[in-house]
């Protein structure tokens, strides 16, 4: 393979990342020298104080003073005593004897890219491929061989040429010396994480030390104040090191993409990148489906067969072309509903956007000499066997109440389709209502007129585009407000190709709010036309005149929803203290504070239990939890400890309440939209 030169930006970001790591090391060593000096000074002063004025009080003060420096020094060194166990239980190692065709592909790629063969090759269930070190403290100083990880969810969703392109990209990382920087960043992050967040044992230690004597506690308070200052510095270091590395990581992705394009041409990597969002969503949809079946003691025999079915099912539902049993997705398909004009450089993103990667890939002009569209699954000796083995591993740790059984593939297909249809709106609406609700208007004020309204015009592509333009514009406005309020650490951003500063946010917001008002007015007028059209259809049928009633039901639910859902929001907010170290007195006070909110929650749950609209949604698990939760007033804290079982009942009740309210919103809307379809079908058959 010809030598691929790294870009000037790549070199710049490499330099910045190395400087940032060096700056961290220098800063840490400076703090360490300070802590050592402080320890020596405090121990010496403590001894001198005890010697010059012997006595019980001076003894306690001298020991306390000596401990001040030791506590700060130990804080900075405690990460050394922390062992790091990396969980690789989700990975399965494969060998050449097991998969000769796959290893032959890997060997060919290693030779073409001119890099080293992986130390080990692993497979998992994931929709992903990656390379990684067995990273440790010593990996910062000695060369270590990299491992290759291939997810079967990925293999299941690409052709042979696409997998070759993806692995070429990963071997591009193998050839990057800058991956060593990643090992440094990994270890720096381990140190910072330990010092900032992994402090439970250390906090208990200094608390016990402070409890020995009131004199000791004086110096513990001083030590904690110094440590808080150290933590502030470490927080700044974390941002500096990781932002620099993330910028380098994005450049590494572009470089690895170019290596892949040199091996396979740019087309296979491009087509796989465009498909990944759908593939990942499909895989998560399969997992969600089986999550809902745990209570029925059901599992999958082969997740990946299910996954491929769902990928193509969702592709067909979105009118995407399917070739060689895989969806073909274009850049336009990817951005069909994204009308945002706001561009913010995400300093924390480890990968560039798919659009940016494809644009750079196409610039290479490296066209594929040949493309193998056969499934990448065929590179495995017995793909079905290994898929079933990995599926078994995915479900192995799930606790079923009884012996589990697998759902036959045919049953999975029909069940998934049925659940999908239950949770989507009719195709008649062309996606118009998928992410918007009917606009509120006074039904009584709407006059039926004789103007002819066509159904196709109401849900035309142009009207759907207005809806998604308004949704994207509203999201942009909210983001710009956050930038203006300095919630986001952003100095400049682009909107519609023009660069703006924080100072210019208000003038831009004024302009955008006028634009969205115009769009929302257009949408409302169209929604009124929709009502008129269906009212006219209803009058032609012999059906009960139910349209206005269903509209009113939805409008009333919409008005009440926020108040009811706010109970969940407020309770969640008030219970955040459980995640932090809090005094016993404060804990008791906090639980007293939530009593009125809990009363509202219980009232809301009782209403849901008797509401006929929710009966089909009340699963046995939800019903059982509600009934137990409502039996009495639960205590959540006592004898200086939390009652975890009782808290679990509360959190489950809150989650189920939140879920059912959201579900109720969907069902009320679906009921209205399905009735409209009934009107159309009835009218056609007359």
Q: With b meaning 16 or more CB within 10 Å and e meaning fewer, what string describes 283-311?
A: bebbbebbeebbeeebbbbbbbbbbbbbb
pLDDT at residue 145 is higher than 80: no
Give 201's pLDDT tier (boundaries 50, 70, 90): confident
- Please name which of 493, 439, 494 lies closest in space to residue 466, comparing C-alpha atoms: 439
φ, ψ dihedrals at 370, nearest 5°: -155, 150
pLDDT of 139: 54
Q: Provide the token pair at 397.
A: 């740790």
Give 69's pLDDT tier (boundaries 50, 70, 90): very high
Cα angle, residue 274 at apex, residues 10 and 305 outer, rounded to 5°: 125
Q: Are 134 and 99 in contact (CB under 8 A)?
A: no
Cα angle, residue 342 at apex, residues 339 and 345 outer, rounded to 5°: 130
H/E element, 494: strand 492-495
Domain ranges of the chain: 8-84+190-242, 277-334+382-424, 339-351+425-527, 541-686
pLDDT of 137: 55
* Length of the chain counted residue by residue: 686
Overall average pLDDT of the 295-316 stretch: 96
Mean pLDDT, all residues of the chain? 90
H/E element, 92: strand 92-94
CA distance 575 to 594: 8
CA distance 118 to 142: 17
CA distance 54 to 212: 20
- Span 464-493, pLDDT tens digits: 999 999 999 999 999 999 999 988 878 899
Give 299's pLDDT tier (boundaries 50, 70, 90): very high
CA distance 494 to 95: 49
Q: What is the largest CA-CA distance in the chain?
A: 108
Q: Provide the token pair at 622.
A: 């939800």
Beta bridge partners, 501, equal 492
What residue has token string 């592909």? 105
CA distance 487 to 479: 9
Q: pTM of the predicted model, to two decimals?
A: 0.84
- Please name which of 87, 95, 190, 180 lies closest in space to residue 142, comparing C-alpha atoms: 180
pLDDT of 158: 98
Three-state secondary structure string covering 278-343: HHHHHHHHHHHHHHCCHHHCEECCCHHHHHHHHHHHHHHHCCCEEECCEEECCHHHHCCCCCCCEE
Residue 177, CA atoms < 13 Å, CB-side half-sphere: 7
H/E element, 531: helix 505-540
- Please name which of 162, 12, 137 lies closest in space to residue 84, comparing C-alpha atoms: 137
Give 581's pLDDT tier (boundaries 50, 70, 90): confident
Q: Provide the token pair at 629.
A: 């939760």
Cα angle, residue 250 at apex, residues 28 and 496 outer, rounded to 5°: 115
φ, ψ dihedrals at 323, nearest 5°: -130, 140
pLDDT at residue 3 is higher than 70: no
CA distance 219 to 215: 7
Q: What number of helices (H) and strands (E) belong to the chain?
A: 22, 13
pLDDT of 134: 66
- Span 633-658, pLDDT tens digits: 999 999 889 999 999 999 999 999 99
The gap between the terminal CA atoms of the chain, to the nearest Å, is 70
Q: Are 279 and 157 in contact (CB under 8 A)?
A: yes
pLDDT at residue 621 is higher than 80: yes
CA distance 218 to 394: 52
Q: Provide the token pair at 644.
A: 């975890």
pLDDT of 456: 92
Cα angle, residue 158 at apex, residues 411 and 355 outer, rounded to 5°: 115
pLDDT at residue 136 is higher than 70: no
Ranked by mean pLDDT, which of 129-133, 220-224, 520-524 comes out on top?
520-524
Q: Are 241 and 21 in contact (CB under 8 A)?
A: yes
Overall average pLDDT of the 150-164 stretch: 97
- Span 323-380, pLDDT tens digits: 999 999 999 888 887 889 998 877 667 788 999 999 999 999 999 989 999 999 999 9
CA distance 152 to 92: 11
What residue has token string 């802590």? 35
Radius of gyration for the alpha carbons in the chain, expressed in angstroms and rounded? 31
Overall average pLDDT of the 377-389 stretch: 97
Cβ-Cβ contacts under 8 Å for 114 (sequence gap 6 or more):
1, 175
For residue 339, how many other CB atoms are within 10 A of its CB?
A: 17
CA distance 540 to 682: 9
109, 113, 117, 120: CA torsion to nearest 10? -70
Beta bridge partners, 494, equal 343, 499
């Amino acid at each position: 393979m010809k030598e691929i030169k790294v870009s000037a930006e790549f070199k710049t970001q490499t330099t910045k990342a190395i400087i940032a790591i060096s700056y961290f090391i220098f800063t840490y060593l400076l703090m360490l020298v300070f802590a050592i000096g402080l320890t020596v000074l405090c121990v010496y002063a403590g001894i001198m104080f005890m010697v010059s004025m012997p006595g019980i009080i001076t003894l306690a003060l001298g020991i306390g003073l000596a401990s001040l420096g030791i506590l700060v020094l130990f804080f900075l060194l405690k990460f050394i005593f922390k062992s790091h166990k990396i969980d690789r239980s989700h990975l399965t190692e494969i060998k050449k004897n097991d998969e000769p065709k796959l290893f032959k592909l890997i060997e060919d790629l290693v030779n073409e890219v001119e890099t080293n063969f992986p130390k080990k090759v692993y497979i998992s269930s994931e929709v992903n491929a990656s390379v990684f070190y067995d990273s440790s403290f010593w990996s910062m100083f000695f060369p270590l061989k990299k491992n290759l990880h291939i997810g079967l969810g990925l293999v299941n969703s690409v052709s042979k040429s696409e997998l070759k392109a993806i692995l070429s990209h990963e071997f591009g990382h193998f050839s990057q010396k800058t991956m060593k920087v990643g090992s440094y960043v990994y270890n720096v992050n381990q140190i910072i994480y330990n010092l900032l967040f992994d402090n439970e044992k250390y906090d208990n230690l200094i608390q016990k030390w402070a409890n020995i004597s009131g004199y000791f506690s004086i110096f513990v308070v001083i030590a904690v104040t110094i440590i808080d200052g150290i933590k502030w510095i470490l927080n700044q270091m974390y941002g500096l090191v990781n932002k620099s590395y993330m910028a380098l990581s994005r450049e590494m992705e572009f470089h690895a993409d170019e290596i892949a394009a040199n091996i396979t041409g740019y087309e296979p990597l491009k087509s796989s990148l465009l498909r990944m969002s759908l593939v990942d969503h499909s895989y998560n949809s399969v997992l969600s489906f089986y999550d809902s079946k745990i209570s029925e003691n059901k599992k999958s025999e082969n997740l990946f067969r299910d996954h491929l079915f769902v990928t193509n099912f969702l592709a067909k539902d979105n009118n995407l072309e399917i070739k060689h049993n895989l969806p073909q997705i274009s850049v336009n398909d990817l951005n069909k509903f994204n009308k945002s004009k706001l561009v913010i450089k995400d300093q924390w993103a480890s990968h560039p956007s798919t659009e940016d990667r494809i644009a750079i890939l196409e610039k290479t002009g490296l066209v594929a000499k040949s493309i193998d569209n056969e499934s990448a699954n065929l590179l495995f000796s017995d793909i079905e066997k290994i898929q079933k083995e990995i599926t078994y591993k995915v479900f192995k740790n799930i606790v079923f109440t009884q012996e589990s059984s697998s759902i036959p593939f045919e049953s999975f297909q029909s069940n998934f389709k049925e659940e999908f249809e239950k949770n989507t709106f009719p195709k008649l609406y062309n996606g118009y209502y998928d992410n918007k609700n009917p606009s509120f208007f006074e039904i009584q004020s709407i006059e039926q007129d004789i103007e002819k309204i066509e159904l196709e015009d109401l849900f035309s592509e142009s009207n759907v585009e207005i809806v998604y333009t308004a949704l994207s514009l509203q999201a942009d406005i909210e983001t710009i407000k956050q930038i203006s309020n300095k919630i986001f650490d952003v100095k400049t951003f682009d909107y519609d190709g023009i660069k703006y500063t924080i100072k210019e946010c208000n003038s831009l917001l004024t302009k955008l709010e006028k634009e969205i008002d115009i769009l929302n007015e257009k949408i409302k007028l169209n929604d009124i036309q929709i009502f008129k059209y269906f009212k006219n259809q209803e009058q032609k049928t012999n059906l009960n005149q139910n349209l206005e009633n269903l509209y009113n039901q939805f409008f009333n639910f919409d008005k009440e929803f926020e108040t009811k859902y706010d109970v969940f929001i407020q309770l969640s907010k008030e219970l955040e203290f459980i995640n932090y170290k809090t005094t016993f007195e404060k804990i008791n006070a906090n639980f007293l504070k939530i009593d009125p909110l809990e009363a509202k929650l219980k009232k809301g749950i009782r209403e849901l239990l008797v509401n006929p609209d929710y009966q089909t949604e009340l699963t046995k698990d939800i019903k059982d939890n509600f009934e137990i939760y409502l039996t009495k007033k639960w205590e959540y804290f006592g004898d200086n400890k939390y009652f975890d079982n009782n808290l679990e009942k509360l959190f489950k009740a809150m989650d189920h309440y939140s879920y059912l309210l959201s579900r109720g919103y969907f069902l009320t809307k679906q009921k209205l939209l399905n009735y409209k379809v009934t009107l159309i079908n009835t009218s056609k058959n007359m």
